[in-house]
Structure formats: structure tokens, C-alpha cells
Amino acid sequence: MRIRYAVSTMVFWGREHPLSFEQECQFLKSLGFGVELMPSIRGYNECRYERRNWARLAEATKDMLVCMRSRNDGPTLEQWNEQIECARLLGANIVTDLLGLRIPDGEDVNGCDFAAEVIKMAEDHNVKLCIETGRLQTLRQVGDKFESVSYCLDTGFANVDPVFSFTQYVNELAERIAHLHLTDNYGQTDDHEPPGLRGGISRDNWVHLLEALEKTNGDIVGSLEMCPCMPAVMIRQASEFLFDELKWPNPPQKQPDNAGAAYNPPNTTTV
């Protein structure tokens, strides 16, 4: 089992003086993390996976681990094809929810022709498609129907489900987990706090997750998916909990050549 780590660009939302996309990537790279791209900047509708943005995305993420959160605006097959081709260019997995594949989050999975076409596109382009945590029974049916898909376990979602426990999610999905959204909450709302929240997901559950993953042969991306406070604070808190306290393997290493890339937003910026 191998885990590599990324940070979702969600971490930069809400900044009074946002960094440019290139600065965001350079900052994460300096800390040894890859990047999980959100499909758009918060408050904007333009999708960054459109073909005209590919050169900029490729240049900014050069030599980084990259994964992509699928666009969430009800993408058409043409738009799915575009973002799958973008993922192939960047060497990225795509994380999508059930609705992005037009699969109802209910107990029966029927009429999945649209999802089947998208999954076939991903297979043809050698792009790994990871289905993000929805109802456990629906995920099981999707996995049974489509052998090539992997799972994205969202630890925050698993902690707030009133029907299935955190450990049930882990036990059912572990063998096919290729992506983790590492986040925390108090068990009421999936509000994307950093892992290690006091009163949040129990230490026993975090330990159980890692032990279950270590029994697999998975190549896994663990992505810190957190809403702001300051990015440096969130990344430090999450890293200390996962790597120093829980002893998760292969922690990212700061890069001395990028030591000057501290998060210090200027008074003016271009997004």
C-alpha cells in the first residue's frame, strides 16, 4: 500500500487577497504536497478544465501529483470527454460524486447508460475514476456494476451518516479505495474541518482506517479537503495529526529549493 498526499484547492477559498493559481501550486509544492483541483474558483462559473486552460494547468502543476474534482454543474458527455482528456494530460485521477454520473443516490441503481458512457471514456483514456462517498448501499451497487471504478472515501461524510457507521464505510470500501478526502467534523454537518478536530472523528476510527488500508495493495491519494482558516495553519494542523500523532506513512517533505514560497498574500493579486 502506498499513500501520496495532496491538498484540495478548496483550502484557498475565502481569502481576502487570493493567490494566483500558479502561486497556490507553488505554495503546496514547497510543502511537498500535490494538488487536488476544484473545477472552478469559488464564486465563479467558469470551469478550469476547458481546453483553453490546459497549457496553464500543465505548466503550473509540472512535477506535481495532480488529481481533479469533477465539474459539478451537470456535465454533458462532451464536457466529460473534455475533462477526461484534461486528466490524461495532467496524469490525474478524477473524483466525482454520483450525481455527476447521473446516478440517483438511492437504493436501486437502474438506467445507468450515461454513467456507462462516461466510465468507458475514462477506461479508453486510461484515467482512473473515483466515486466519492454517497450512500453506502448505492456505492456497493455501482461498484458491482462497474468493475473499473474506484472509491473516494470522504471521512467527513462517513462521520455524519446516520445509518452506517464510519467503520462500516471503511470495511465495505477499503479494497477499492484509491482516493481519500481527509477532513473532520463534529458528526452533525460535513463542514470540512482539518483532521484531528477535538470532539470530531475518534482516534480509534482514524487508526482503523489506516489499518484497513494497510491490508490492501492500493495506490492511494490522501487529499486534505478543508475550508479556510489560513492554508498554512490547516495544512500544519492536519499534517501534525496524521504524520506526527497517528504515524501515517510517507509524509510529504518540505522542499528547500522552494523555501521562499510562504503563504503571504500581497495586497493586490491576479486570480
Please name which of 71, 132, 28 lies closest in space to residue 19, comparing C-alpha atoms. 28
Specify if 270 maps to a domain. no
176 pLDDT more than 50: yes
Specify if 201 maps to a domain. yes
* Contact criterion met (CB below 8 Å) for 183 and 226: yes
The band of 267, judged by pLDDT with boundaries at 50, 70 and 90, is: very low
Segment 150-165 shows an average pLDDT of 96
- pLDDT value at residue 270: 35
CATH number of the domain enclosing 96: 3.20.20.150
3-class secondary structure for 176-231? HEEEEEECECCCCCCCCECCCCCCCCCHHHHHHHHHHHHCCCCEEEEEECCCCCCH
Residues 6+ apart with CB under 8 A from 42: 13, 14
Report the mean per-residue pLDDT for the chain: 89
pTM value is: 0.86
259 pLDDT more than 50: yes
Beta partners for residue 223, in sequence order: 6, 181
Q: Which domain holds residue 155?
A: 2-258
Specify if 47 maps to a domain. yes
CA gap 163, 134 in Å, rounded = 12
The band of 171, judged by pLDDT with boundaries at 50, 70 and 90, is: very high
* Contact criterion met (CB below 8 Å) for 160 and 187: yes
269 pLDDT more than 50: no
Specify if 266 maps to a domain. no
Specify if 131 maps to a domain. yes
Specify if 269 maps to a domain. no
CA gap 104, 186 in Å, rounded = 27
Tens-place pLDDT, residues 226-249: 886 657 667 877 888 899 889 999
Specify if 224 maps to a domain. yes
Helix (H) or strand (E) holding 28: helix 21-30
CA gap 113, 57 in Å, rounded = 31
Specify if 271 maps to a domain. no
Tens-place pLDDT, residues 25-67: 999 999 999 999 999 876 677 899 999 999 999 999 999 999 9
Segment 118-143 shows an average pLDDT of 94
Domain count, the chain: 1
* Contact criterion met (CB below 8 Å) for 205 and 166: yes
